[in-house]
Amino acid sequence: SQQGEEDPQALSIQEGENATMNCSYKTSINNLQWYRQNSGRGLVHLILIRSNEREKHSGRLRVTLDTSKKSSSLLITASRAADTASYFCATALDGGATNKLIFGTGTLLAVQP
């Protein structure tokens, strides 16, 4: 079963605008990761944030984590048409020995040129 949900389910923006996606989860986590999946392709790891971190940056990506609210957000700045993809958050549970990932339902982002 899915760990949580992402919001919105779909998002359409113009090139150059910022895109924000939110993720909620249910249980205590060790870390939270964001992945991108282009149509028909595999998942690409974007960024990992540990449970003791609150914010992390990587290029045009900014991730925040609020463990008290069990939520995370992914901000993509200055979006490009190539950012069009599905974005998934995935959590690795606290105390889990395997570090298996539990994925959310995904946000489908469409960036219009």
Partner 1 sequence: DTGVSQDPRHKITKRGQNVTFRCDPISEHNRLYWYRQTLGQGPEFLTYFQNEAQLEKSRLLSDRFSAERPKGSFSTLEIQRTEQGDSAMYLCASSARQGPYEQYFGPGTRLTVT
Binding stretches for partner 1 (CB under 8 A): 1-2, 31, 33, 35, 41-45, 48, 50, 88, 90, 92, 97-106
Cβ nearer to partner 1, comparing 85 with 88: 88
Cβ nearer to partner 1, comparing 18 with 28: 28
Distance CA 29, CA 93 (A): 4
If DSSP states are collapsed to H, E and C, what string results for 9-22?
Answer: CEEEEECCCCEEEE
Distance CA 83, CA 78 (A): 10
Minimum Å gap between C-beta 3 and partner 1 is 9
